[in-house]
Amino acid sequence: MKTGITTAIVLAAGLAMSCSETSKDVDNAQDVREMASGDTAVMYDDLGKEGELEADGAEVNVLGEDFWAAVDFDAPVVADPKLKDSGIEKRSADKGYTVYSMDERVLFDLDKAALRAGADEKLSAIAESIKEISDSGPIRVFGHTDAIAGKAYNEKLSAERANNVKDWLQSKGGIDASRLSIEAMGETAPIATNETARGRQLNRRVVVVVATN
């Protein structure tokens, strides 16, 4: 009995510490907004120019982690009329998957997880393209951020964004929930420097990978 009580106390203490650390990072969100003023200018200037989570309440159709780890996000670009002028890039290398990538401006406002006005049109185009290439393959949505905030905050933001895209594909895009999962990458996989506003903008992105075999 003493052992059980001791274990419970240790677990409770660990949980409290974990919550405290997470809250500490998220409380710094104001600092993120202040530091991102230059990024906002880049975002609107361009616009003027023209850990895995399961799908809610469903058993995810899972491929091995080796499959997702081996995805080439720089595979050759594939032309798709449905995605023309959408800001969405489609890539494939005939390796059993197709990649749809877009920076945050396509779907989100800076430092926000809610889908922005106009996101329905973009996601609808992705959903229709997915249906043409695969009617049953697993789909993983990757969320990425820049490195301005703390790791915990960035992981949380990337998870919320990826989850909102996943939920849209399920509820409005007609994609079966059993095919969908997310991976919150946070700041861990940058494609550009985080030292400039332009680089941070490129790092803030969402990528949808569809298994086609």
Residue 102 structural domain: 2-211
pLDDT in tens, 52-104: 444 444 444 567 888 999 999 999 999 999 899 999 999 998 889 999 999 99
The pTM of this model reads 0.74
pLDDT single digits (tens) 164-204: 999 999 999 999 999 999 999 999 999 999 999 999 999 99
CATH number of the domain encompassing residue 160: 3.30.1330.60
The total number of structural domains that make up the chain: 1
CA atoms within 13 A on the CB side of 42: 16
What residue type is 187 in one-letter code? Answer: E
Q: What is the pLDDT of residues 100-128, one digit of tens each?
A: 999 999 999 999 999 999 999 999 999 99
Say if CB 197 and CB 39 are below 8 A apart: yes
Cβ atoms of 72 and 93 within 8 Å: the answer is: yes
